[in-house]
Amino acid sequence: MAFFTYLHVALSTRLAELRRDGERGDSPVPTAVIIAGLVTAAVAVTAIVSTKATAWMNSIQGP
Give pLDDT, residue 1: 80
Structural domain including 39 reads: 29-55
How many domains does the structure of the chain reveal?
Answer: 1
What is the mean predicted confidence (pLDDT) over 53-60? 94
Q: Is residue 10 situated within a structural domain? A: no
In a domain, 45, yes or no: yes
Residue 38 lies in a domain: yes
Predicted model pTM: 0.55
3-state secondary structure the chain: CHHHHHHHHHHHHHHHHHHHCCCCCCCHHHHHHHHHHHHHHHHHHHHHHHHHHHHHHHHCCCC
pLDDT per residue over 13-39, tens digit each?
A: 988 887 776 666 777 888 899 999 999
